[in-house]
Structure 1
Amino acid sequence: MLKKLWGTMFLLSSIYSYGTTIYQFENGIPKNIKSINTSRLKITNEKYKDGNHSLKWNFNKNDSISILGDVGYSTFKDGGKEKARSSYSMWIYNKKPIDDKLIVQFKKNGIVKTSFPINMNFTGWRTMWVQYDRDMTGTPEEGMDEITFIAPNTSGEILIDQVIPSVLIDPRHNARDEQVPFVNLPADDAVNAHWMALYKNYNLIKYHKDNKPLTEKEIVSIKSIEDKFFNEIIKKVSVNKDIIEKKKEQLKEYKKINLEFIKRLVIYKNITSEERENIKYVPTKEFGIFLRELGYMYHSTNNIKEKNEIYSIFQNALNYMYDQGWTKGSSQGTIHHLGYQFREIYQGVFLMKTPLLKNNNLEKAREMVTWYSAMGIIYTDPNSMRGINIDILNTMLPGMLTAILLNDNINKEAQELTQFNKYLTKAITYSPGVIGGFKKDGSVFHHMQNYPAYGKGAFEGLTPIIYYLGGTPYGIKGVAYNIVKNSLLMSRIYSNKFNYLLTLTGRHPNNKFKIDDSGFKYTALGGENGVDKELAEAYLRLTPNGKDANKFKNLGFSPEKAPNGSWTMNMGSLQLHRRGEWLAGVKGYSRYLVGNETYIKNNLFGRYMSYGTFQILQDSLEQSGFVQEGWNWSHYPGTTAINLPLDKLKSNISQVDIYSGVEEMLLSDETYSGGNSLNGNGMFAMKLHEHPKYNGSHRARKSVFFFDNRAILLGSNIENNDAIHETHTTLFQNYLGQNNIIKENKIYKENTLLLDSQNNLYKIKNNEVVYSKDLQHSLDQNTGKPTKNNFELAYINHGKSPKNGTYEYAILIKGDKKSQRNFEKNSNYKVLNQDYSSHIVEDNISKMRGYAFFEKSSLQNDKFIKTIDTPSLILLSPEKDTLDISFVDPDLRLYEGIDKSQYDKNGLMKEVSIYSRNWKGNDGLPHTSTLTLKGKYKLKIGKNVKLKTDKNNTILEITSTYGTPVKIKLIKTK
């Protein structure tokens, strides 16, 4: 049950070291600690933060303590891989609040170089992470040789433990609070402000006394919200004397050690292993589960004695929590990513609202929940909002609602629910650029990209709240509701049924992350005008026998048919195509959209994830051919990439600036990558250019055209200077299961037909094709450990150092025997052009044409288009007297020209953090493209389109933003 962190400690007596030194006070008072009155210093075991002892200091006014020896401060070296800065850390236990400050000074040769104050108006434990060169007064210097504590302007007693004079801490993570409100002020407006700005957010809260009585409807609505919330989290459990006694013993064991937040543990990373047993802790998440279980127990018995005993344990647990510094006003050194560990604590406190109120203990618990949930965010100036951070929806929003529902004053609760509604209504909007939040194409952005794994978490946090508030004056309605609805509905487009495309898995390319059907249920139930039909029927398709399915069926709803058609999500450089029960998707990246997200222990070989990845998905990822064990990371289907051994493909990761973590998120310098859709069909095209961090000579121009159940894939201008490794365009890679297989290894030199194990028929023209079926060896994407599995793999071999390489192949997706025979004879398409400027394909059946214009172009012999002045994607569907057009300018145009800070003095692209880009929150600039058509037409449909004629031509001026398809219908004129 109890977990231990085995950290390391360096116990000082008279030895001092440069670097991470920790004073634990386990072996007496170190000889280098001096005091004006040493008799007032002693070692105690009353309270401690590690080991079993701390230093007790009984002080009088103006007393001081000094720690002699090299402080260990090191000046930050700009330009290196290490971005962390020297910070000071310590724990203080205060028995009684003191209305004054403790001053911490850092001296060199007796002269104060830098210092900071600590507000002492608290009880219990407090800690702080104070960065030397940003948060302190004065100028720190290497070689500082003394730390002095100057007592407050009164007498008192405190305990001191775990003093760390200097430790390297990521500068984004130091957190200010009521004891050190000057720490890391930039965090209040940083990307991670939702985690870090607790002090700021708490102080935004405004409450005004309102004597106006609530209406009966408001009172009933508030009770309805509380009841829904309670019923959603409550659980019936067994309660008896033995179980209650076990909970008492569990708390007794907890109180022997410390309640810790795992993100704080980073400060122990560089210490030795000699005293690891000195650091023992209870993780906050485990403690929250303990509190919630007590809440379950309280509501699972009607025995008053048992209820009182359970509440007594709960209150003692809260008191222990407060004593550990988990209380309003304390940030624990860092609070970064706290929301993931605090959910159960919020729920436990809410379940115990009634006895807390009865015993006059509710207010302190409510303030604690209000502080850590950052509930004050709801008072953010609406004019400063630019969308909502997904982490807030995922981990903080339920805590905010909990804080509101913990009010014992119904008028105050009503005011905060009203403010909560105003905040969500304003925040749930379309965010600009690539910053987090919702996008018009249905993308849910986090980490500056379309990120379904975080979208899932956002829906899990937000949609129950839409349900709780639904049907009340505080419900989410109108535009905000429809934005959430649209994004939910799109999540079942890029997934099939629950697994989303491999290229959308971010730093987790495995089969563990799936969309969650509960979001459809909750949002349907929270509909503005009763249950939402679309969402209810989408839920029934996903989960026809789910626990809530009968509720919808009894209301007359039935499962929707599988969505069929083609969808463009250019904020994610993504094209989706569905027929029957299958999904095909293709994805790229650009100078605005990162191609991969790789951490030290995640997605180590993910460089090629967005190199035009083309995946066919039916049922689960495994059933569709992917398992990560044994997967060849050089061969994502559809990609054109250099076939590197995994030791060379593995990412070389570093922290490139103070805005990012230790990660890799590479950008291209190309603006052209995106899709287009028209009348249920679609296309995709990209200019692929690998980042110079690896091989900046690798380029290709790639396109995909979807016509019904066929996909045509073209490549041109494939080139790089790698004379050692071949370049491959991967056709498919499919997991074959655990059974023994007959090995195959074939090379096809000319036109080739291949039927893969997924029943997709590939027709490849004029390329060398390599096919193998074997036990495939690889490395785990997280750990780098060897993996293996049976796979089939097919790819087009462009050879080493290709120049002007090309490919052409077509796929019949999930065809029956008859359609496969017909496809073998005639695949019913024509390639009209395939070069540097454009790829043009016509479907012989529908007569639809797709144009991937990589450059502005003038066509000599095309039936429809004469000129286009903008690199674009165009789909044309001609009828007898009409012409349907879908036009896309795939350049998101978040900035014009080049971002000079991304290039070195030689004009070579550097690795930069997407978080550091000053254009990341820019709105896309509108751009007007001029398309000249042969023949005369008049405009029937076309928003943001102007038409004029010139001789026998029709000139369309088309204005678009964010790569959004512009739909146009023209009528022929004589």
Structure 2
Amino acid sequence: MKKIILGVMMLTGILYGQEVKVYQFENEIPKNVETNIKDSISITKEKYKDGESSLKWKFKKGETLNILGDVGYTVFKTGEQEKARSSYSMWIYNENPIDGELLVQFKKDGVVKCWFPIKMNFKGWRTMWVQYDRDMKGEPIEGMNEITFVAPNEGGEILIDQIIPSVLIDPRHNARDEQVDFINLEADTAANAHWMALYKNYNQIDRNQKNIVLSKKDIEGIEKVEKRYREKLLKKVQVTPELITEKTEEFSEYKKINLEFIQRLVIYKDLKPEEKDRIKYIATKEFGIYLRELAYMYNSADNKQEKDTIAKLFNESLEYMYDQGWTKGSSQGTIHHLGYQMREIYEAIFLMKEPLIKLGTVNKAKEMVTWYSAMGMIYTPKENLRINIDVLNTMLPGMLTAILLNENQEKEGRELYQLQSYLMNSINYSPGVLGGFKYDGTVFHHMQNYPAYAKGAFEGLVPIIYYLNGTPYAVTGKQFKIVKDAVLTTRLYSNKYNYLLSLTGRHPNGKFKIDAESFRLMALSGENSVDKELAEAYLRLSPQGKSVEKFKGMGLKEETAPKGSWTMNMGSLQLHRRDEWLAGVKGYSRYLVGNETYIKNNLYGRYMSYGAFQILESSLKESGYVQEGWDWKHFPGTTAIDVPFEKLKSSISQVDTKSGVEEMLLSDETYSGGNSLNGNGMFAMKLHEHPKYDGTHKARKSVFFFDNRAVLLGSGIENSDSENETHTTLFQNYLGQNMKNSYTQKEDTIIDSQNNMYKVVEGDIVLKKGKQESRDQNSGERTENNYELAYINHGKAPKNGKYHYSVLIKGDEQKQEKFKKNPKYEVLNQDNNSHIVKDLKSNMTGYALFESGKVQNNGFIESVDTPSMILLQERDKEIQMSFVDPDLRLYEGRDKEQYDENGVMIERSIYSRPWIGNIGKEHTTLVVLNGKYTTEDSSKVKSEIDGDFTRLSITSKNGEVVNIVLKKIS
């Protein structure tokens, strides 16, 4: 028997402290509740939403029910940190639908000030969150002292429970439905519309239905999709009479309490302890697991009587769910982020399609799944379609379930074609920093490259692509390739399974890993046969997994670990790989946030994009990262101020009503990104901390990758913090109990416990090892562990600070000895204008040109008119060149709303910025070369000889790498 949750699950940060009054109608009718007809109200134990009773009102046409006393409404004050607004909440149970409306009025001294209607054409429980100053008619005022319910134009009987006259709710979260279809209309087009627009989405289905005649292929395709979906979901269990009895008893317990959605429980936050204690519930996800177990049992049982018993129990369980308000047309007050809790319910219902058809109840289940999965979204006009990671992750499987629950095969085929159209038109490259797929293989969510959400998107989308593959409803062509490239890219920023720490968003806990199953299913979904590239990647990631024998039987072999350098400037990310290791560098800019922090997530992650340079050879733990004891002030590669933890801890608020309670800070710099050429690469950024913390902190940083070596340079390091030192971190590695396996110093080099050799040319080194104290990233509680730490100390309030060091990554003793004697590179320039490094082994030169103008201390590039990144390599009689303009150019000039009257940058929500959906503008950069060269002109590159110089006009956008081949004119 499962443990049933009692009490309330709190979600902090959505509701704010206030004294909340609640009417729970236990024991007796409150003295301030009265009607104009005697004995029409009573306390009943028939049904309830908390405690063990509710208020029964047996009304006649036009009768009124009154609650006297202060309503508690508070006027929203603009400009303050508080963004939640006063809303009204209640539960109503209706046994017999009424073709009329219940009117809820709010009065002051007998005069109606505001009101709203509730359509009574429903059966079961319903609730609503109605915001006073947006959703109601009239004008609410403080001091309202009476609530009046005016009965519909016909008699009836309802139960009322849990009236909360005024509670502060995030205005994004009130949801409209069929009973209160006027609530929060803005949500239909808001950033969270995928969660909130259930009413709109459901009601656009019928008017967009088209009649089609199914071909034999269409019908075979439907059968193939259903078969694959069923096979993927099914799990065999042993069915016994005892197990059936256990499930029957489990349901008996569920019926005594209520089925809740955790996101709406926030309205209980400020109730008194005794009021909270009356609220007993089972979470929807737990109920879904129970339903899915019943579905497994039904599909595993051989005995007809057992199957019939299980089917009846399952159907009764669904009826309980509908009665609780979980039915088509009901939004439970709020519906935001629902998909995470409904997956098991959808799967269970699909697996029980056959018995539900026999019982005649499958259509009601289909309507419910259609409503909550927002299946009507697939009818969105093509011009309004935009991919959404939350939809792919949590809602798409429910949409497919709703389609496959059709009894009418023609309708099923019609809806599958509509799903295909939706996917083919929405899987595309999204503009700006909006969520979705980017041309460089990254997947965006929350306005940033977010591998953890990409994983969820693949877990939702890729199985759908697999189910539809090889049918008339398949995802093909460009759309298939976009998803394929994104899946393949995950193995580049992961090693072997873990993501780079700087890419973990608000969850730097080491738990998120690559999804190998997506590689397998995408490989099986190849358009003509098994996709070779995906299958061989899967063989490396999951050598003992499903389909291995099938792939090997086709002559496919495990891929070697990816080798090369990759630029992903939509995420300000540079990746470099050799052998079995990955080195990655991450920055941020005025377009890309530097951190994502919530009230209980990533509280100390401010520095994670300050040029973080991480080397991963295996898991995060094996590569030196364990959350407990990790010093958040010393991400390797970053240049940051070593402030005390209490000052590092984020100061979080809800900046505006387009955001949640979070921190996602931007810089005012446009220069941050990377470049790649012939398997090598570079990264550079202008670091400028947001003035919310220390707007005086600045640095110019670069990393140059040449085979298994990295050269890291810094200049212009400055800030005005005279209390705390500024450090550039070389490494920080978890040691565990083996303290002997720590760094070793050999003259001017250091070898860390991960076998990386550091050669510091400029900078005062500080080395530490032993017990290291830190704070938990979620709770702020003290943590500790044994660590080694090395950093360059720039002192307090540095001015024009610099550093220069190089790293030999994972070298053996012979390579380390050679590196120690001569690392084989030259720094040609290192100042605020440029960092220029020449590799003597590959004859490649990297240019981080932070400013436009003449380029100093090199014989090749004369000048640039745009801050740029350039890599050059002489090969035979030609020079190969790669160029990057790292400015994404999502907008020009200054975003004035991000600055105060004194020109100081202030915190603004990234979600509120008008430019987030802009397409990056093309820009043409003039690069002047010393000497005469020819190149093949193209749409991106034009060349012109000008005396002893060559003028290259290079057009690019979105931080893309432009490759150029130059041939010298003798």
Do the two structures share a fold, i.e. TM-score over 0.5?
A: yes
2-side partners of 1:743 and 1:417: how far apart?
59
2-side partners of 1:528 and 1:543: how far apart?
22
Q: CA deviation at 1:745?
A: 12
Determine helix, strand or coil for the equivalent of 2:306.
helix
Question: Which residues in structure 2 correspond to 1:679-690 (within 5 Å)?
Answer: 679-690=678-689
The residue type equivalent to 2:432 in the other structure is G
Deviations 1:562-588 (A, max 9, x none): 000000000110000000000000000
Preserved CA contact (<8 Å) 2:35 2:65? yes
Q: CA deviation at 1:804?
A: 0.2
Deviations 1:855-914 (A, max 9, x none): 102035522111100011011112232111111010111100000000111111111110
The residue type equivalent to 1:26 in the other structure is E
1-side partners of 2:742 and 2:624: how far apart?
18
Preserved CA contact (<8 Å) 2:741 2:753? no
2-side partners of 1:740 and 1:572: how far apart?
37
Residue among 946, 966, 970 paired with 1:970:
966
Question: Which residues in structure 2 correspond to 1:223-622 (within 5 Å)?
Answer: 223-385=223-385, 387-622=386-621
Deviations 1:258-296 (A, max 9, x none): 000000110011111123321000100010011111111
Deviations 1:273-329 (A, max 9, x none): 123321000100010011111111111112111111001100100000000000000
* Cα gap change, 1:200 to 1:8, in 2 (>3 Å): closer
The residue type equivalent to 1:957 in the other structure is S
1-side partners of 2:122 and 2:856: how far apart?
80
Q: Which residue of 1 is the match for residue 707 of structure 2?
A: 708
Residue among 918, 922, 926 paired with 1:922:
918
Determine helix, strand or coil for the equivalent of 1:482.
helix
Deviations 1:55-96 (A, max 9, x none): 000111110111111100001111222110000000000011
1-side partners of 2:213 and 2:108: how far apart?
64
* Cα gap change, 1:941 to 1:483, in 2 (>3 Å): farther
* Cα gap change, 1:955 to 1:210, in 2 (>3 Å): closer
Q: Which residue of 2 is the match for residue 12 of structure 1?
A: none
1-side partners of 2:18 and 2:619: how far apart?
54
Q: Which residue of 2 is the match for residue 726 of structure 1?
A: 725
Q: CA deviation at 1:37?
A: 1.0
Q: Which residue of 1 is the match for residue 757 of structure 2?
A: 761
* Cα gap change, 1:112 to 1:940, in 2 (>3 Å): same
1-side partners of 2:476 and 2:686: how far apart?
41
Identity, % of aligned pairs? 65
Q: Which residue of 2 is the match for residue 3 of structure 1?
A: 4
* Cα gap change, 1:653 to 1:930, in 2 (>3 Å): same
1-side partners of 2:740 and 2:723: how far apart?
31
Preserved CA contact (<8 Å) 2:235 2:296? yes
Q: CA deviation at 1:210?
A: 7.1
Preserved CA contact (<8 Å) 2:923 2:957? yes
Preserved CA contact (<8 Å) 1:125 1:325? yes
The residue type equivalent to 1:702 in the other structure is K
1-side partners of 2:497 and 2:856: how far apart?
47
* Cα gap change, 1:29 to 1:745, in 2 (>3 Å): farther
Residue among 806, 811, 820 paired with 1:824:
820
Preserved CA contact (<8 Å) 1:7 1:273? no
* Cα gap change, 1:322 to 1:659, in 2 (>3 Å): same
Q: Which residue of 1 is the match for residue 141 of structure 2?
A: 141
Aligned CA RMSD, in angstroms, stands at: 1.6
Q: CA deviation at 1:941?
A: 6.8
Q: Does 1:806 align with 2:802?
A: yes
Q: CA deviation at 1:110?
A: 1.1
1-side partners of 2:188 and 2:149: how far apart?
29
2-side partners of 1:693 and 1:719: how far apart?
17
* Cα gap change, 1:21 to 1:745, in 2 (>3 Å): farther
Q: CA deviation at 1:8?
A: 11
Determine helix, strand or coil for the equivalent of 1:807.
strand
The residue type equivalent to 1:724 in the other structure is E
Q: Which residue of 1 is the match for residue 955 of structure 2?
A: 959
Deviations 1:735-783 (A, max 9, x none): 112245599999x9xx831000000000001311000111111111111
Preserved CA contact (<8 Å) 2:25 2:53? yes
Determine helix, strand or coil for the equivalent of 1:225.
helix
Preserved CA contact (<8 Å) 2:735 2:742? no
Determine helix, strand or coil for the equivalent of 1:148.
strand
Q: Which residue of 1 is the match for residue 157 of structure 2?
A: 157
Preserved CA contact (<8 Å) 1:743 1:772? no
1-side partners of 2:36 and 2:546: how far apart?
70
Q: Which residue of 1 is the match for residue 941 of structure 2?
A: 945
The residue type equivalent to 2:587 in the other structure is G
Q: Which residue of 1 is the match for residue 13 of structure 2?
A: none
Determine helix, strand or coil for the equivalent of 2:421.
helix
The residue type equivalent to 1:540 in the other structure is L
Q: Which residue of 2 is the match for residue 52 of structure 1?
A: 52
1-side partners of 2:286 and 2:816: how far apart?
56
The residue type equivalent to 1:803 in the other structure is K
Q: CA deviation at 1:375?
A: 0.4
Q: CA deviation at 1:529?
A: 1.2
The residue type equivalent to 2:658 in the other structure is Y
* Cα gap change, 1:672 to 1:176, in 2 (>3 Å): same
Deviations 1:91-129 (A, max 9, x none): 000011111111101111111111111011100000000
Determine helix, strand or coil for the equivalent of 1:479.
helix
1-side partners of 2:780 and 2:561: how far apart?
38
Preserved CA contact (<8 Å) 1:744 1:772? no
Greater than 6 Å deviation, 4+ residue runs:
207-211, 742-746
Preserved CA contact (<8 Å) 2:744 2:751? no
2-side partners of 1:196 and 1:3: how far apart?
28
Preserved CA contact (<8 Å) 1:742 1:774? no
Residue among 775, 780, 784 paired with 1:788:
784
Q: Does 1:910 align with 2:906?
A: yes
Q: CA deviation at 1:425?
A: 0.6
The residue type equivalent to 2:882 in the other structure is S
Question: Which residues in structure 2 correspond to 1:887-902 (within 5 Å)?
Answer: 887-902=883-898
1-side partners of 2:804 and 2:402: how far apart?
59
The residue type equivalent to 1:720 in the other structure is N
Determine helix, strand or coil for the equivalent of 1:97.
coil
Q: Which residue of 1 is the match for residue 14 of structure 2?
A: none
Q: CA deviation at 1:160?
A: 0.3
The residue type equivalent to 2:726 in the other structure is T
Q: Does 1:189 align with 2:185?
A: no
Determine helix, strand or coil for the equivalent of 1:200.
helix
Determine helix, strand or coil for the equivalent of 2:129.
strand
Determine helix, strand or coil for the equivalent of 1:940.
coil
* Cα gap change, 1:825 to 1:941, in 2 (>3 Å): farther
TM-score of the two chains, using structure 2 as the length reference: 0.98
1-side partners of 2:827 and 2:937: how far apart?
29
Deviations 1:581-602 (A, max 9, x none): 0000000000000000011111
1-side partners of 2:797 and 2:190: how far apart?
44
* Cα gap change, 1:493 to 1:740, in 2 (>3 Å): closer
The residue type equivalent to 1:430 in the other structure is Y
Preserved CA contact (<8 Å) 1:752 1:769? no
2-side partners of 1:6 and 1:103: how far apart?
32
1-side partners of 2:646 and 2:656: how far apart?
25
2-side partners of 1:743 and 1:759: how far apart?
10
Determine helix, strand or coil for the equivalent of 2:935.
strand
